[in-house]
Amino acid sequence: MGTAASAETTCPDNRQAQPSRRDFIRRSAALTASLSVLPAGAVRGAAANSRIEVGIVGQGGRGGLIADIIADKHKGLQLVALADYFPDVVQAAGERLKVDAKRCFHGLDGYRRLLASKVDAVLLETPPCFFPDHASAAVEAGVHVYMAKPVAVDVPGCRGIAEMGKLAAQKSRVFLVDFQVPTEDLNIEVVRRCKDGLIGPLGLLSSFYCDESFPDPARSATIEDRLRGLVWVNDTEIGGDYLVNAGIHAVDAALWLAGAVPVSASGATRIVRPDPHGNSPDIVSVTYRFADGLIMNHQGEHLRNTHGFACSCTAYGRDGYAMVNYEGSAFVRGNKGGFRGGDVTNLYVNGISRNLDKFEACIRQGRFENETVASGVNSTLTTILGREAARKNTVLTWEQLMQEDLRIEPDLTGLKV
């Protein structure tokens, strides 16, 4: 993509685009009304000797990887259905994974057809603007839900996911949001020792996320091309933006250590990548404040500048400091002792695999606490708070964010149902 531009660049903000998600739902409802969606879990149980039949919505890089992990390592889960917006993508995935072509669905309403084909569980791996609608349909259909992060791109979407998590529990269904950092034993031990007081009261949290940017080509007549190859991360209305979609890993780790959500945020962002077409900043610096006085600084950058991937959170306490990591050292150092820790490696694959294990175990054991929904919603809202505070160049409180309740809609004009 060339070298990063030195001058700040701005792009138009596509908020409140039309038609909205609600318009699309109304359009597609007529097309899918004839599909009788039955609660699969009510038809087939999850006995110890049975396989849990799952469908995956979204066959991009992450959806494809999860399909491979299920096929290779999770014999208690059986992949029986696929959906993706693009027919060529879902057809190729179906052939590779040996899924019946009649259960490979495409178009915007492919997820509805997948649910109507009677699965026990659905894995949602699409751009996050679609998660609230997909999760709602899945919970209403009575299936278990496994979903990537962030849970939404706006506050109304987060509210919807929170409600769906509660409704799933009421229906005795599992709803799991897939964050990898909290699955790592080294990170778990670091956080445990911090919460036990080894480094004393926390004064500062420093979270950091760095990686390359994704392709950001010129826009075409519809957003169809933006739905391929992670281009959508550049678009706030589709992917949330780089902070919400990617930096959330480090922010989630910070909230894990803090044990609370912030009360306010302030910050700054800019776009530095060359020839940008999406409106997502690739540079972000946000300061969060918590009710007890704790300060959290988050920094992120997404440029092709040879730095490479980094995702971590360092906690500075009165008596020591500690680090949790996505890739690299996790440890505790302090005046009263520490934890030598070690290096976190291959967390992307290992974390997904552990979460799939947990998902299956919760289904089989009838555990419907669905605690990852609340933490997933809080982490997403925290990144949205940072995004909006930095965009407005002001101090924004959590209460103000929730009261504003800003809805951000992708423009679905011209897309295939």
Rounded CA gap, 262 and 269, in Å?
Answer: 19
pLDDT exceeds cutoff 90 at 13: no
Mean pLDDT of 240-260: 98
Mark whether 123 and 86 lie in a shared domain: yes
Mark whether 263 and 398 lie in a shared domain: yes
- CB neighbours (10 Å) of residue 77? 23
User: What percentage of residues in the chain have a pLDDT greater than 70?
Assistant: 88
Angstrom CA distances, 97 to 38, 104, 149, stand at 25, 11, 24
What domain range includes position 367?
181-404
Instruction: Answer yes or no: is 149 within a domain.
Output: yes
Mark whether 45 and 186 lie in a shared domain: no
- Write the pLDDT tens digit of every residue in 253-288: 999 999 999 999 999 999 999 999 999 999 999 999
Instruction: Answer yes or no: is 383 within a domain.
Output: yes
Output 176 or 26, whichever has higher pLDDT. Answer: 176
Mark whether 213 and 294 lie in a shared domain: yes
Mark whether 272 and 140 lie in a shared domain: no
Instruction: Answer yes or no: is 3 within a domain.
Output: no
Task: Supply the pTM of this predicted model.
Answer: 0.90
- Write the pLDDT tens digit of every residue in 279-316: 999 999 999 999 999 999 999 999 999 999 999 999 99
- Write the pLDDT tens digit of every residue in 355-387: 999 999 999 999 999 999 999 999 999 999 999
pLDDT exceeds cutoff 80 at 239: yes
Least confident of 16-30, 136-150, 229-243: 16-30
151, 177, 203 - which closes a domain: 177
pLDDT exceeds cutoff 90 at 329: yes
Mark whether 173 and 226 lie in a shared domain: no
Residue 205 pLDDT class (50, 70, 90 cuts): very high
Mark whether 280 and 247 lie in a shared domain: yes
pLDDT exceeds cutoff 80 at 79: yes
Number of domains the chain is built from: 2
Q: What is the mean pLDDT of the chain?
A: 90
Instruction: Answer yes or no: is 349 within a domain.
Output: yes
Mark whether 102 and 208 lie in a shared domain: no
Mark whether 352 and 208 lie in a shared domain: yes
Residue spans of alpha helices (H) in 272-325? none
Mark whether 168 and 190 lie in a shared domain: no
Mark whether 214 and 133 lie in a shared domain: no
Mark whether 244 and 272 lie in a shared domain: yes
Rounded CA gap, 369 and 351, in Å?
Answer: 20
- Residue recorded with tokens 């894990």: 256
**pLDDT in the model for residue 49:** 59
User: Which of 53, 411, 376, 34 lies closest to 236, judged by CA?
Assistant: 411
